Structure 1
Amino acid sequence: MPQATHQGALRFGDFEIEVAVLDNGQRVITQGGLMAGLGRIRPVKGKCRQYYRNSANLPAFLTAQNLKPFVNEDLSIIANQIEFRTKQGAKIFGYAPNFLKKICDVFARAQHAEVLKATQHNIANRAQIIAEQLERSCTMRLIDEATSYREIRETQALQNSYRREE
């Protein structure tokens, strides 16, 4: 099972989303961080199957009837949970970085179509804030900066270039 080597949080105004870089180089957005960042604060326990419906691994808030027209197969595919261990050894779940951008897109299109329920407006507002920041920088770069992994990656690249020159 992969383990986090670097952990941090993406800041979006007055809220944040926890992220990590795993020992296999994969970047992840933690499940708890995603839920809290979107204003869907629930205790994360075990495999969290109670938050998912049907065969797709979509979080329950994305399975609402009014959102179905905006949730495509691509989103369902990248919604697969990534199980990993934190630096402290706790077993948790996360998502691929591009899952966050896709969620923002779902809520933007639903808001534009004026089909959001009153309880979904807070998620849509947060998704808009996140989407605006993601337009300025890619999610992986933001994760690298939030976890201080960028400095490690740059140092490794520099060391590799020195080795090639020798």
Structure 2
Amino acid sequence: MPQATHQGALRFGDIEIEVAVLDNGQRVITQHGFMAGLGRIRPAKRRQYHRNGANLPAFLTAQNLKPFAHGDLLVLAKQIEFRTQQGVKIFGYAPSFLQKVCDVFARAQHAKVLKATQLNIANRAQIIAEQFERSCTMRLIDEATSYREICKTQTRRNSYRREA
């Protein structure tokens, strides 16, 4: 099972999304970070996900979102199991899954099919999507976890060793 080597949080105003870089180089958004980032901070219920084919978070299985939740989203919904730096087993998602979810809410909002209870998620999704448009998601995660700085430092050390 992969383990996080670096952890941090993306911050967009009052939105905070926990992220990690795993020992295999994969960047992930933690399941908790994904849910909290979209404003879904209620405690998880026993059966957090519907088992109707795709492993989508329950809030994405709403009837009014079904026309927008298809294709890549269903493939990207696969959870990534990993251990935190402290050794705790948790789940996460590929960063592109969050981007696709933001797109689902943008398209549903444009089609004017969102319910009042979904507007907060749509607003948060818009803020997140705007940040992702401005900068590469992997770069944002690397900066939030200080992964880039450590990689640069290790590269410098290795080149000094080769020169010596």
TM-score over 0.5 for the pair: yes
* Residue 23 (1) aligns with residue 23 (2): yes
Q: Shift in Å at residue 158 of structure 1?
A: 3.9
Q: Shift in Å at residue 156 of structure 1?
A: 3.5
**Residue type at the aligned position of 1:26:** Q
Q: Shift in Å at residue 42 of structure 1?
A: 2.8
Higher deviation after alignment, 49-58 or 123-132: 49-58
Query: Which deviations, in whole Å up to 9, do the C-alpha atoms of 1:33-67 show, x marking residues without a partner?
Result: 1101101113358xx74333412111111111101
Q: Is the CA contact (8 Å cut-off) linking 1:70 and 1:110 kept in structure 2?
A: yes
Structure 1: state its 5+ residue gaps.
none
Q: Shift in Å at residue 143 of structure 1?
A: 0.4
* Residue 73 (1) aligns with residue 93 (2): no
**Residue type at the aligned position of 1:30:** T
- Name the counterpart of 1:7: 7
CA distance in 1, matches of 2:67, 2:151: 40
Q: Is the CA contact (8 Å cut-off) linking 1:18 and 1:34 kept in structure 2?
A: yes
Out of 99, 102, 110, which is 1:101 matched to?
Answer: 99
Query: Which deviations, in whole Å up to 9, do the C-alpha atoms of 1:106-159 show, x marking residues without a partner?
Result: 000000000000110000000000011111101111000000001112233445
Q: Note the 1:108-127 alignment, pairs <5 A.
A: 108-127=106-125
* Residue 150 (1) aligns with residue 151 (2): no
Query: Which deviations, in whole Å up to 9, do the C-alpha atoms of 1:50-88 show, x marking residues without a partner?
Result: 333412111111111101111122110011000001111
**Residue type at the aligned position of 2:75:** I
Higher deviation after alignment, 121-130 or 63-72: 63-72
CA distance in 2, matches of 1:51, 1:138: 29
Structure 2: state its 5+ residue gaps.
none
Kindly report the root-mean-square deviation, in angstroms, between the aligned alpha carbons of the 2 structures: 1.8
Equivalent residues, number: 164
CA distance in 1, matches of 2:31, 2:151: 25
**Residue type at the aligned position of 2:39:** G
* Residue 38 (1) aligns with residue 26 (2): no
Q: Shift in Å at residue 15 of structure 1?
A: 1.8
Q: Percent identity?
A: 83
